[in-house]
Structure 1
């Protein structure tokens, strides 16, 4: 059972570190308003994983993953939110809010924890991932529900540690990101990436 758990953890670790919408959302928040809001965003993302974990264990995520209509509705909602965040970053960039000292910069609107939660809850790929991959990786020495619950907790922990460490790494380079030219470049980059991820989610089939 331990060998199966280690193997599943390795797969989850690889999937966790691959850049995606979560990393783009965290980057935008941490660079714009500091590591505290960055960690709050990570907390929201982790909570979103727990929500999907509960749904997966209850069998509801499988219904979403199997229903093309439900998947499409969730995909479009999640895509719209990511595109909204992307345009928000680009709009901030266009307004040129980078001339004042960093301490006086207006942070992005919205609660960072809620931003992370919503961006993750409205990601239907998590439903497909939790119902398609996790059951096959669950340790055979445990019941189906217990094995799934364990892997969801492992994934949430890996996500929190990875993104939390990433936020703290960004904070070490805070002085670099405070420079107006760098801030403009980061907002352009994260805004474009978020819009790109949103369009990808909207056009990807289950």
Structure 2
């Protein structure tokens, strides 16, 4: 388990879609928005954990068609969110006030983005079994424990990112708010970039 935790920590040091998504949502909507985004990502990872345990992820590994369908659905969703963010008109140059509906949307978006990433499914299917031991404990239980550990570490990591980003953002907005008009545009570009990256991914 200690080895697993150390390896996961090293993986977290490599910026990925979850990192960029959490940071962009925090910049756009504040601390609460960033935290619920991280929770959405973690819930998506939990779904991938159960899929790996049940063997459903193996379908994505063996079926090129299934992989392509999930990949392009995820890419299309990201590009759609990016376009919506780019064309959204900013009504104020002040830091936006986050409403309950806004955080709910952020949670839902993060969840769908994570679930619709076939690479994440293949990652869990290939990564978790490497730490399964022949110690008498059922493999299913070991995979669940490893997956839940990953999810807990993911929540902790994204929460830390949120507070760091929020601190930097608060200092930025305390000095000037003229650039806040472009925050949504930056977020839109990030979404589109992630969507294009996902569309170009291969099954190997």
TM-score range, shorter chain: 0.7 to 0.9
CA shift in 2, pair 1:103/1:73, >3 Å: closer
Displacement of 1:65 in angstroms is 2.2
Structure 2: stretches of 5+ with no match in the other structure: none
Deviations 1:10-48 (A, max 9, x none): 222222332222122222221222111211111111111
TM-score (norm: length of structure 1): 0.85
TM-score (norm: length of structure 2): 0.85
Query: For the residues of structure 2 that align with 1:130 and 1:38, how far apart are their CA atoms?
Result: 24
Query: For the residues of structure 1 that align with 2:23 and 2:102, how far apart are their CA atoms?
Result: 12
Instruction: Tell me which residue corresponds to 2:77.
Output: 81
Query: For the residues of structure 2 that align with 1:189 and 1:104, how far apart are their CA atoms?
Result: 18
Query: For the residues of structure 1 that align with 2:103 and 2:84, how far apart are their CA atoms?
Result: 9
The aligned length equals: 199
Instruction: Tell me which residue corresponds to 1:172.
Output: 167
SS state of the match for residue 134, structure 2? coil
Query: For the residues of structure 2 that align with 1:162 and 1:109, how far apart are their CA atoms?
Result: 19
Displacement of 1:186 in angstroms is 4.3
Deviations 1:133-180 (A, max 9, x none): 211222332332122111111110111001011111122223345344
C-alpha contact 1:26 1:41 (8 A) present in aligned 2: yes
SS state of the match for residue 139, structure 1? coil
Deviations 1:66-105 (A, max 9, x none): 211111100001111121222233234xx34452x32568
1:162 maps to 2:164: no
